[in-house]
A = this chain, B = another copy of it.
């Protein structure tokens, strides 16, 4: 019944499971997963295969099929991921988890409501830096290894458009692009999150 994946037994902790980048976390209806390490995205897609990002989650966040009625629906690992099962008797305070999901959904709605993809992208980078980034010497580092396609799928845009805008932001000195798709937000007007 349990899909095969490496299992580690932590003393005093729930059993943890590990997933590789681009793999999917199993979607049993009655299981909630707590993210211990790594980043996942909840996605759905149109009939033509166009992917739509419904959420992005990191360490400490709780994800599961129970929170969504969207079909199709998958939880995809963007990085290496370690999760533990949240036992059913520890689902509380579920209202807080649901509020976090609702809050993120609204934040993504607002980010995607701007008139140009450039403004959406600047808002998204600030939001990602606030949620998942860390301070470095010359700004805020987003180390999520997001491809331009991943970013396009967060903004309902295209890879070509995202590449063009990122190149432009770099030329203007607002961001640095490092190997492995890491991005540093250099200027306060970018990393200061305000949607």
Contact = CB atoms under 8 A, between A and B. Distances in A.
Given A69-B103, A70-B106, A112 B112 contact: yes
A105 B105 contact: yes
B113 A52 contact: yes
A98 interface: yes
Interface residues of A, number: 27
A108 interface: yes
Q: How many copies does the complex hold?
A: 2
A60 to B, nearest CB: 17
Contacts of A44: 106, 110
Contact of A94 (B67, B68, B95, B156): B95
Contact of A113 (B69, B95, B107, B156): B156
Interface of A: 44, 46, 50, 52, 54, 67-70, 94-95, 98-99, 101-103, 105-110, 112-115, 156
16 contacts: A50-B115, A52-B113, A54-B106, A54-B109, A68-B106, A69-B106, A70-B103, A95-B98, A98-B98, A98-B99, A98-B102, A102-B102, A102-B105, A105-B106, A105-B109, A114-B156
